[in-house]
Structure 1
Amino acid sequence: MSHRAPSADAADAGDNGAASLIEAFGGVRGMIDMTLPGLVFIVVFTITKDVAVSSWSALGLTLVPVAWRLWRRETLKHAFGGVLGVGIGAFIAIESGKPQNFYLTSMIYGLVLLVAYAVSALVRWPLLGVMLGPVLGENMTWRTQNPGRLAAYTKATWVWVALFALRALILFPLYWAGQVTWLGVAKIALGVPPWLVAIYLSWLILSKAPPPIKVNLEDDHETEAPEQQAARAVDDAVEGAFHDLASSPVPQERSER
């Protein structure tokens, strides 16, 4: 593995880190996914009191990006994430007849993230570093050669643990009490605003850390372990398959002889 000397301009690294943080946590699409489906559900349910109509309305909204990507012949793999999450929540809500179950999937997912981030910080493999290391060109040097960044990534990861814990402490009591309207309002309020606060605090922590030690990623790929090469090949194959699916023409029916 070949290395370049650490950048002398920490401010540039901080600016790149801010942009990378926003992208790592979904960017503009992430903000939309956090807000619009739940907003549509709670508005429609408040008006109609119909779980099915509300669920289908929210699910229909998530299909718009899929249609847009199909029309532009782009890959569908990122669009399917939002559809799957909302679809599972809609199915549970409709089958149970309980509107609060529309939010249950995302709430459980938040608990999973809470545990994952906390465990990663405790074992000194903070997920924030795992996600941002390759994006910032430092790969995993922050863990083995840059203790200051390891400490910063660990501290920033705890910021996200606190965010997920705050959401759980507010949302689950409302869910158990059956307060559907307040649950929907809280879900929206605890979406983008705290998310932006967590990103800002993470950026603030990382901007004060030592700059990343850059690595030559091309050399890294050549020295990857076989299992890493296999994982990369699988990722490339999946992305290629989604791209082919999105760009392939619709087959025409054969005429009967």
Structure 2
Amino acid sequence: MSSTPEHRDNGAQSVLDQLGGPLGFLCSTAPVVVFVAANAFLPLPLTIGISLATGLALFAFRMVRGERVGTAIGSLAGVAVAVGVVAWTGSARDFFAMGIWLSLAGFVLTFGSVLVRRPLTGVVWNALHGGKHLWRAHRGVLRAHDVATSAAALVFGARFVIQQWLYLAESTGGLGVARVVMGTPLTVLAALVVVWAFRRSTTRLRAAAHDR
């Protein structure tokens, strides 16, 4: 008997969970705002200290709320690495360097997967549903994941191009604005497209299995 996708699409819910919800967006944005604001008025060592303290405070807050340790530690680690790079190089703009290069890596991964006809969102959907579905054989499903993965690639690519330009222009304030503006809003839009592709895959493949 062939396996069918679950009645409830846990894959879509997993994507939303990984985003951390509104609080996750706030916790990822606050250290950036604090760093840029502090850097405008304070010496770099104090800016680093305040940013790290903000990351620690947010980590403690999320632990008190009972959030997953991995998510909270990931946010804290991101801040710690960013301020560590700044402390090492002595340049405030390097607070954003890791994010810029991660955006490039994300673009290469997502766009590359579309080029080789194995869009990443489809691979993830299939893995979350047992890894046994011939999703690439269904044109509508494959097209949906082409669209979803391309949307993610567009977000990563736009982030890299704009923030790298601001980095080369040595605009720390501009980088902060770009990180906030291109963070939550674009992530939400891309996530909505991914959720649509996940649900479309579940519906199409469930219908195909039922017709057999």
Normalising by structure 1, we get a TM-score of 0.67
Separation of aligned partners in 2, 1:209 and 1:130: 11
Aligned letter for 1:23? D
Question: Is 1:23 the counterpart of 2:25 in the alignment?
Answer: no
Choose 1 or 2 for highest CA Rg.
Answer: 1
Contact 1:128–1:157 under 8 Å retained in 2: yes
Aligned equivalent of 1:127, options 88, 110, 120: 120
Q: Does 2:48 match 1:55? A: yes
Higher relative contact order (CA 8 A, sep 6+): 1
Q: Write the deviation string for residues 211-252 of structure 1: whole angstroms up to 9, x where unpaired.
A: 1546xxxxxxxxxxxxxxxxxxxxxxxxxxxxxxxxxxxxxx
Shift of the alpha carbon at 1:106? 1.2
Is 1:175 the counterpart of 2:167 in the alignment? yes
Q: Please say if residues 39 and 184 of structure 1, whose CA atoms lie closer than 8 Å, have aligned partners that are also in contact.
A: yes
Q: Percent identity?
A: 26
Name stretches of at least 5 consecutive residues in structure 2 with no aligned partner.
Answer: 207-212
Q: How do residues 150-169 of structure 1 correspond to structure 2 at under 5 angstroms?
A: 150-169=142-161
Q: Find the aligned partners of 2:138 and 2:91 in 1 and give their Cα distance.
A: 50
Match of 1:34 in 2: 28
Output the aligned Cα RMSD.
Answer: 3.0
Where does structure 1 lack aligned partners over 5 or more consecutive residues? 215-257
The one of 29, 54, 71 equivalent to 1:78 is 71
TM-score by length of 2: 0.80
1:149 counterpart residue number = 141
Please say if residues 5 and 202 of structure 2, whose CA atoms lie closer than 8 Å, have aligned partners that are also in contact: no
- Does structure 2 conserve the Cα–Cα contact (< 8 Å) formed by 1:37 and 1:61? yes
Aligned to 1:3: 3
| Structure 1 contact 55–102 (Cα < 8 Å) conserved | no
Q: Secondary structure at the match of 1:141?
A: coil
Equivalent-residue separation in structure 2 for 1:73 and 1:23 (angstroms): 14
Aligned residues between the structures = 206
Matches of 1:147 and 1:61, distance apart in 2: 48
User: Match for 2:15: what amino acid?
Assistant: L
SS in 1 for 2:117: coil
**Where do residues 178-257 of structure 1 align in structure 2 (5 Å cutoff)?**
178-204=170-196, 211=203, 213=205
